[in-house]
Amino acid sequence: MAEGSNRGEGPTSSKRMRIDTDPNTAITEFLTKCDDYLLFQLTKFYRDRLEQAIEGGVDGVSSLLTYERHFSGQEHRKVVDLVEKGNRADSSKLVLNLVMEKGSRARRVMWESFVKMHHAVPKLDKILKEMQELGPDPFDYMNIGRGLSEIPSHLKDVQQKHKETLRVQTETLRVNTILIKEKVKIFQLVTLYTELTVISTVRDRTLVEHELLARGRDHEEWKEKHLRRELEKIRTDQLFHSSFSQRKSKSGSSAAVSGVVGIGKITMVQKIVYDWATGKIYPHFQFVFSFKFRDLNAINCRINLRNLILDLYPYFGNILGELWKNPEGLLFIFDGLDEFKERIDFDNNRINTEADYICTDPEDWCEVSDIVYSLIQHKLLPGCSVLVTSRPTALHLLEKAEISVWAEILGFVGEERKEYFNKFFEDQAVAAAVFKHVEQNEILYTMCYNPSYCWILGLSLGPFFTQRDRKQQRVPRTITQLYSYYIYNILKNHGREIESPRDVLLKIGEMAFTGVSEKKIVFRNGDLIKYNLQPSQFLSGFMVELLERDDSAQSVVYTFPHLTIQEFVAALAQFLTPDPGDIRKLLSEAYSKDDGRFEIFLRFFVGLSSSQSARPLEEFLGPFLHQTICGVIDWVKAKVEGQIGNITNKFGDTENETGERDLLNTFHYLFESQNQTLARVTVGSVEILKFGHLTSWKALRLTLIDCAVLSHVIGLCDTIKYLDLENCSIQCEGLQRLGPALHKCQVLRLGGNKLGDSGVKLLSAALRNPDCKIQKLELWGNDLTDSCIKDLSSALRTNRSLMGLNLNFNKLGDSGVKLLSVALRNPDCKIQELGLDGVDLTDSCTKDLSSALSTNSSLTVLSLRSNSFTDQSVPALRSLILNRRSLERIRLEWNQFSPNEKRHLESLRESRPRLSVGV
């Protein structure tokens, strides 16, 4: 571009940025002193990060550029249209594209808008602070003009051979299965690989490690929220881009990528090597050398870097010395730091004896750990780049290392999960069916952030949608049923490898139960010895797919792939082993723990009483004792009846959150048991169910599976009258799960749930149901617009039960009320109370409302507070009151009217003694 010719013309003052007590002043001063070329380069340098950063406020940036006449009205409209459609990523790309086309003045205005909005946009604030701190010369850290050094001609052949070798090594993906005929399945990497979400920071290690403990959508929502506001995504081809670097060094760059078990670190490294070998990424690296720490563990003697490379790539022969001359062209990858048997010490203790450990020459003989240390610290081949991967448990070892870029794999977020299943199954109809089944189950969906759990689900669920001999109506409906089939597959395909699968499973389950009891998810050799288990049984027996080996510097440790698998095996072992007489004691003691450690365990235990859960396992583990099943049913019956007994027959009296959670858990037991007789006996006569609250923080937050369970229970209730789910965060997806049972309730309180217009469409279907019993419907604060009123009005024209409708604090507007008036005009409309507080009404709607109610003979209470009425609406309101003889109360915001018009309204009381007009 022409702007590139101005580099030498920038004022010297732009080379240094003054740190000021007011960040706005400092960054504004810096931008003022930037010449056009520098601003152009800064925009290019931060381009990818800016695209993410401005997503939340992109319409504001576009508005300012339009106001300053840099964007046309049509261009601004394109940006806003993308925002309104939810395509904020595309809208931010469009803004930056337009700005770069417009020239220097538009860029300056854009950066000025960044300064104004950065306090409200954390990612933008971070970039501006970095710019403020990174001086004195931005060109130093931007690496402007760093070209690709030409590789000598005599090295081109070996480079080509190296790339071809790596391509062949990495183009296929070998995956273990639980199938006896095909224990290892081979895929083309590019066919199966699904991009992972990686962030350019590392979260709190304790939090990350306890992803294993995560249930529900809370951690998924946390990720999505923080991705939008704070966490910056980083692509694998950006790991060595200096804009993400926290340390600016001329001696080379080191990147560390962390991730929990099964999150895809090894596969990600394979994809990086494959992409480099095929010329897709990192063109500035002439050679890439990849090592696994688990392989380095086999080296028990001193070695040098030359031999380390030649052991893997012997074709380099004697030309490695040529490579040492250009270390900037070298990338070393070390995968799995947590698996390394040696401890690499980066802390200050090493400084005193550093000479003994530092390796400064690739020909020097030393320990493997010293070679890795020296490469990361840029003591060996300064200028080269290093990538290290690790689980969070070992990441503390790198805290004091010279790491430039820290990154963490979050796993699959949002649509990435669906993409994985689309690639897992060749038949896209099967992929869609399996993903839909997973999506509808809260625990299964939660597990899908981790690729290894997706693999388990694909293997376990796939046969139900692909094999002709399995009926789809028997697809696992509960989490207990799904895990039963998962264990069944392992027993079927690996059970022959050991003498007594039942005995081994019981030992594993006993160890798992101890872990659940003690909140323990990691097991060591001592634990195996205690339960008479041999490590070989985990490595070669039928449980190899269930337990994961984790080599650390101290000892070999084991962990279940997911906490719920540990809980299931624990429940299965306890179900099979105790004396039936001890069942009630075991269940009662587990239930008495109020910290949630046995919550899912108990659901599994009760679920195993279901014949559909037990049937596949009984083939290998023998019949489940009838006495145990009866004992479980008796305990559940007593527990549910006790919880139901705590519910009063007065509307709105139960506000004990602990009691509500306990009741919901007992409903989960009923759902897992799939025992309709038990459910009808215990909940068939329930009249009141209350989980909501007018105060959002007091209300019980319901997940999708909670909603499915609640729907199951309500469907079996013959006398349900009152259902309160106010502020329970159910949203449209939760309402969809509840939909089949809603028409049975007389009072339905759904306020504060962000149901949206699509949620009202679902409710309209319930209102149209010929058996609908809904008399009072609360929908306040649900983000409704006029778009949903047509559906609602249509339903009201046929509904004969609804008498109370609360639509307060939604954005219906005059157009929404006009559509609603169509239903109110119907002489058969039964609505007696109508709430329209704060729905964005103006004077222009009052005539429609007055006209509609003139033919309505049922309405007695109308609330119109917190709307934008003026004196101009008073004639229509007076007419409404005079003509609507059945109206007993109309609520208005008095301060909107002049004293004279207030008197006119109050005078109506003289002719209507029972009429209440007021706030």
Residue 112 CB-density burial (10 A; 0-12 exposed, 13-18 middle, 19+ buried): middle
Q: Is 491 or 581 the better-scoring residue by pLDDT? A: 491
Q: What pLDDT is recorded for position 356?
A: 58
Q: The tokens of 450 are what?
A: 């981790």
* Cα 864 to Cα 77: distance, rounded to the nearest angstrom: 35
User: Which residues, in sequence order, are CB contacts of 251 under 8 Å at separation 6+?
Assistant: 378, 382, 383
Residue 189 CB-density burial (10 A; 0-12 exposed, 13-18 middle, 19+ buried): middle
pLDDT tens across 354-387, in order? 455 689 999 999 999 999 999 999 999 999 999 9
Q: Is 862 or 654 the better-scoring residue by pLDDT? A: 862
DSSP secondary structure code for residue 151 in this structure: P
Most confident of the following: 349-363, 733-747, 873-887: 733-747
Q: Is 505 or 904 the better-scoring residue by pLDDT? A: 505
Q: Which amino acid is at 814?
A: D
DSSP secondary structure code for residue 168 in this structure: H
Q: The tokens of 491 are what?
A: 């027993």
pLDDT band at residue 203 under the 50/70/90 scheme? low
Residue 600 CB-density burial (10 A; 0-12 exposed, 13-18 middle, 19+ buried): buried
Q: What pLDDT is recorded for position 17?
A: 30
Q: What is the rounded average pLDDT of the residues 749-758?
A: 94
Query: Is the pLDDT reported for residue 807 higher than 90?
Result: yes
Residue 469 CB-density burial (10 A; 0-12 exposed, 13-18 middle, 19+ buried): exposed
Q: What pLDDT is recorded for position 140?
A: 59
- Numbers of helices and strands, H then E, in the chain: 44, 20
Q: What pLDDT is recorded for position 891?
A: 86
Q: What is the rounded average pLDDT of the residues 834-855?
A: 90
Q: What is the rounded average pLDDT of the residues 468-493?
A: 75
Phi, psi of 380 (to 5 degrees): -110, 125
Q: What pLDDT is recorded for position 551?
A: 44
Q: What pLDDT is recorded for position 264?
A: 85
pLDDT band at residue 160 under the 50/70/90 scheme? very high
* Cα 772 to Cα 794: distance, rounded to the nearest angstrom: 15
Q: Are 795 and 820 in contact (CB under 8 A)?
A: no
| Partners of 407 in the β-ladder | 257
Q: What is the rounded average pLDDT of the residues 426-443?
A: 85
User: Which residues, in sequence order, are CB contacts of 714 under 8 Å at separation 6+?
Assistant: 689, 720, 723, 738, 741, 742, 744, 745
Percent of the chain surpassing pLDDT 90: 34
Most confident of the following: 430-444, 565-579, 898-912: 565-579
C-beta atoms surrounding 149 within 10 Å: 11
Q: What is the rounded average pLDDT of the residues 120-129?
A: 80
* Cα 561 to Cα 450: distance, rounded to the nearest angstrom: 10
pLDDT tens across 219-228, in order? 555 556 566 6
Q: What is the rounded average pLDDT of the residues 847-869?
A: 88
Nearest to 124 by CA among 83, 96, 94, 145: 96
Q: What pLDDT is recorded for position 220?
A: 58
- CA 765, 768, 774, 775 dihedral sign is positive
Q: What pLDDT is recorded for position 12?
A: 29
Q: What pLDDT is recorded for position 630?
A: 92
Among the ranges given (24-28, 351-355, 799-803), the one the predictor scored with the smallest mean pLDDT: 351-355
* Cα 379 to Cα 383: distance, rounded to the nearest angstrom: 9
361: three-class secondary structure by DSSP: coil
Among the ranges given (42-46, 259-263, 649-653), the one the predictor scored with the smallest mean pLDDT: 649-653
Query: Is the pLDDT reported for residue 655 higher than 80?
Result: no
pLDDT band at residue 476 under the 50/70/90 scheme? confident
Q: What is the rounded average pLDDT of the residues 593-622?
A: 90
* Cα 609 to Cα 572: distance, rounded to the nearest angstrom: 10
pLDDT tens across 532-579, in order? 887 644 333 333 333 344 444 444 567 776 677 889 999 999 999 867
User: Per-residue DSSP letters for 813-851?
Assistant: HHHHHHHHHHHHTSTT----EEE-TTS--BGGGHHHHHH
Query: Is the pLDDT reported for residue 206 higher than 50?
Result: no
Percent of the chain surpassing pLDDT 70: 81
* Cα 53 to Cα 31: distance, rounded to the nearest angstrom: 18
Q: What is the rounded average pLDDT of the residues 654-662?
A: 67
pLDDT band at residue 782 under the 50/70/90 scheme? very high
Quote the distance between the C-alpha of residue 401 and its chain's center. Answer: 31
pLDDT band at residue 393 under the 50/70/90 scheme? low
Q: What is the rounded average pLDDT of the residues 736-755?
A: 92
Q: What pLDDT is recorded for position 498?
A: 63
In the predicted model, what is the mean pLDDT of the chain?
81
